[in-house]
């Protein structure tokens, strides 16, 4: 894992008042929840964006504006809605998901899907009609055409995924509500993410350690962005 | 988590042996009656092993590091995990009302009683206590230092219009604060009265930054004292202050008759463990910055029937 040296370095410098394994486990939970949520969102969003980009239907503009509104949906409200859904009194109560990573993934999915869909849709709509027509004329099926369009729009789609990831990993309100910010007695995070760990440190007036965790969060986001951009570039064959 | 873990576990050998024996006995009974978790496994693990107990509690028990200090012992004994969620008393009870936790550890007797009267909580025990203190900036602009009466001190703050930071979050401390205002005959409001809607630690930070007064539990204040510029101006009963500033903590299981998925066996194991002499000693020995934060009160020679029922409750229809 590329982060371990960074964390080790920081710990060496600042002698964080944490037990061994605490910070890595918090980073792990942050990544686990955000990556899975964004992967699920992407699987849902790109077909949705393609379908919307390729077809015209009544109310399309309305659906678009709903998605755009979703980009600004307050995470705390999403957290509350997911909490009501997974609470033992809610419709999904039997699954016993309160204060679990799965519940956190659900709320992150709801948060990440609108930006991924909206930005992908913009990228797909931006692909010139000529490209699409050419694919059709050359005898491409609907699927071939879709793949050509995705390839043309890949930078926009990568931006969309990164926007969704950025929203998921930096979000604090909903994961605090549905996750509960839990760390086991052994000092290993169960549902504590970097953001809720920062919130906890700030609540206790330990602003320096909160800042260090903030730096770790920025480093994680930078690393993920670099990896996604690299993946996008290797996809180019010229 | 973040606190250094002081000694406190040495000298626990005999206690450990005692607890282990108790646990084995209790587990045998459990496994026999309930047949939990696939029976006794090769290494004689308790029937609750591998299960998870969700404890909703207050920021004051969590942020002081107390739970991190004592929970490893429980997890060793029962092989079960404790998920402690720090929420504030109002939210902790609400989570339990929704059936999302198994046991609650809170500090607002009025709210606890309501919770019991509504049938959500059972088997309440007095757990421990500390006290509240009124803290403020060293220069003490309202001049309340050394006041004998907490209510008088608050009335003075209100008269002076000195900034007061309120938790404003329906926590145990907030509930106490509102009771104190009521007792002082003051209806707080205006520019000087600020509700933060946050945990105790954050409220202390806000009070530091604004040079304001606030009501704090002694535990959180001590554990955070090195980070803030506030001093105790009115002491609680631990330092011979007025009794009205007492801060008792109680613990209750969630009623499995209301929420059948509540992990009642483990909740009762936890309540039994935390009110046992060994754990009560561990609570007593827990120190931050060289000071004891919590004073156990579960172990007593004398009966204490009021801990099990809402305050002032009596079964009058049965008498005579």
CATH code of the domain containing B26:
3.40.190.10
CB contacts, 8 Å: B71 with chain A = 185
User: Chain A interface residues facing chain B, Cβ-Cβ under 8 Å?
Assistant: 17-19, 22, 87-89, 93, 96, 98-99, 180-187, 190, 200-206, 209
Tens digits of residue pLDDT in B168-187 = 888 999 999 999 999 999 99
> What residue ranges in B107-157 does DSSP mark as E strands?
121-136
Substitution target from A101, A203, A208 for chain B, most B beta carbons within 10 A? A203
Q: What is the mean pLDDT of chain A?
A: 88
Q: Is residue B144 part of a domain?
A: yes
Q: B245, B278, B298 — which closes off a domain?
A: B245
CB contact set of B308 (below 8 Å; sequence gap of 6+)? B123, B124, B125
Query: Which three-class secondary structure state does DSSP give residue A137?
Result: helix
| Per-residue pLDDT, A235 | 57
Beta carbons of A203 and B59 less than 8 Å apart: yes
> ipTM score here?
0.78
Q: Is residue B1 part of a domain?
A: no
Domains in chain B, number: 2
Q: Which range, of A171-180, B2-11, B131-140, averages the lowest pLDDT?
A: B2-11
Q: Of A23, A16, A20, whose CA–CA distance to A193 is shortest?
A: A23
Rounded average pLDDT over B284-302: 93
Tens digits of residue pLDDT in A160-176 = 999 999 999 999 999 99
Q: Which of A142-151, B16-25, B199-208, B229-238 has the highest mean pLDDT?
A: B229-238
Cα dihedral A172, A178, A180, A182 in deg (nearest 10): -90
Q: Give CA B211 to chain center in angstroms.
A: 27
Residues B264, B123 share a domain: yes
Q: Of B70, B91, B82, B83, whose CA–CA distance to B15 is shortest?
A: B70
- Give the Å distances, CA to CA, from B160 to A213, B138, B155: 41, 16, 9
Residues B258, B122 share a domain: yes
- Domain spans of chain A, in order of start: 31-193
Q: Is residue B319 part of a domain?
A: no
CB contacts, 8 Å: B199 with chain A = 203
* Rg of chain B on CA atoms, in Å: 21
Q: Is residue B85 part of a domain?
A: yes
CB contacts, 8 Å: B198 with chain A = 203
CB contacts, 8 Å: B72 with chain A = 185-186
Tens digits of residue pLDDT in B232-261 = 999 999 999 999 999 999 999 999 999 999
State yes or no: pLDDT of B43 exceeds 60: no
| Per-residue pLDDT, B88 | 86
- Contact status, residue A87 vs residue A108, Cβ threshold 8 Å: no
Residues B155, B114 share a domain: no
Q: What is the mean pLDDT of chain B?
A: 86
In chain A, how many H helices and how many E strands? 11, 0
Beta carbons of B63 and A190 less than 8 Å apart: no
Q: How far apart are the first and last CA of chain B?
A: 55
Residues B93, B194 share a domain: no
Query: Backbone phi, then psi, for B87, in 5-degree steps?
Result: -130, -20
Q: Was domain A31-193 assigned CATH 3.30.70.260?
A: no
For B17, the domain range is 13-130+248-314
- Taking CA–CA distances from A202, the nearest residue in chain B reads B202
Residues B263, B118 share a domain: yes
| Per-residue pLDDT, B207 | 94
Q: Give the pLDDT band (50/70/90) at residue B30.
A: very low
| Per-residue pLDDT, B200 | 87
Beta carbons of B198 and A203 less than 8 Å apart: yes
Q: Give me A39's structure tokens.
A: 């992967």
């Amino acid at each position: 894992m590329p982060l371990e040296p960074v964390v080790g370095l920081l710990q060496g410098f600042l002698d964080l008042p944490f037990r061994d394994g605490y910070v890595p486990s918090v980073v792990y939970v942050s990544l686990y929840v955000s990556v899975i949520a964004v992967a699920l969102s992407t699987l849902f969003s790109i077909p949705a964006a393609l379908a919307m980009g390729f077809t015209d239907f009544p109310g399309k503009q309305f659906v678009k504006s709903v998605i755009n509104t979703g980009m600004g949906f307050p995470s705390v409200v999403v957290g509350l809605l997911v909490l009501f859904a997974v609470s033992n009194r809610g419709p999904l109560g039997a699954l016993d998901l309160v204060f679990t990573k799965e519940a956190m993934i659900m709320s992150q999915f709801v948060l990440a899907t609108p930006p991924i869909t909206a930005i992908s849709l913009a990228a797909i709509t931006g692909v010139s009609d000529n490209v699409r027509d050419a694919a059709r004329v050359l005898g491409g099926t609907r699927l071939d055409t879709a793949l050509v369009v995705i390839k043309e729009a890949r930078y926009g789609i990568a931006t969309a995924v990164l926007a969704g990831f950025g929203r998921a990993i930096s979000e604090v309100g909903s994961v605090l509500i549905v996750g509960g910010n839990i760390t086991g007695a052994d000092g290993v995070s169960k549902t504590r993410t970097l953001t809720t760990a920062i919130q906890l440190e700030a609540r206790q007036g330990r602003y320096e350690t909160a800042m260090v965790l903030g730096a770790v969060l920025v480093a994680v986001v930078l690393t993920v962005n670099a990896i996604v951009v690299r993946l996008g570039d290797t996809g180019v064959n010229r | 988590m973040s606190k250094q873990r002081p000694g406190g576990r040495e000298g626990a050998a005999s206690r450990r042996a005692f607890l282990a024996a108790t646990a084995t006995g209790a587990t045998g009974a459990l496994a026999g009656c309930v047949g939990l978790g696939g029976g006794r496994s090769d290494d004689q693990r308790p029937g609750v092993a591998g299960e998870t107990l969700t404890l909703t509690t207050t920021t004051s028990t969590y942020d002081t590091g107390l739970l991190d200090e004592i929970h490893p012992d429980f997890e060793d004994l029962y092989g079960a995990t404790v998920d402690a969620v720090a929420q504030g008393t109002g939210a902790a009870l609400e989570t339990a009302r929704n059936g999302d936790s198994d046991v609650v550890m809170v500090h607002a007797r009025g709210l606890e009683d309501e919770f019991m009267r509504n049938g959500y909580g059972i088997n309440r025990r007095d757990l421990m206590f500390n006290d509240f203190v009124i803290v403020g900036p060293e220069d003490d602009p309202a001049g309340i230092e050394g006041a004998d009466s907490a209510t008088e001190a608050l009335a003075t703050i209100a008269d002076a219009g000195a900034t007061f930071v309120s938790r404003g979050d329906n926590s145990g401390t907030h509930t106490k604060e509102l009771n104190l205002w009521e007792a002082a005959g003051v209806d707080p409001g205006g520019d000087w009265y600020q509700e933060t809607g946050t945990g105790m630690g954050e409220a202390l930070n806000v009070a530091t930054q604004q040079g304001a007064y606030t009501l704090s539990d002694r535990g959180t204040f001590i554990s955070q004292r090195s980070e803030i510029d506030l001093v105790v101006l009115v002491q609680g009963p631990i330092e011979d202050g007025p009794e009205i500033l007492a801060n008792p903590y109680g613990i209750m299981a969630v009623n499995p008759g209301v929420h059948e998925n509540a992990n009642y066996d483990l909740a009762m194991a936890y309540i039994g463990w935390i009110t046992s002499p060994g754990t009560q000693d561990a609570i007593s020995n827990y120190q931050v910055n060289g000071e004891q934060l919590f004073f156990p009160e579960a172990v007593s020679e004398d009966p204490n029937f009021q801990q099990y029922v809402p305050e002032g409750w009596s079964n009058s229809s049965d008498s005579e």
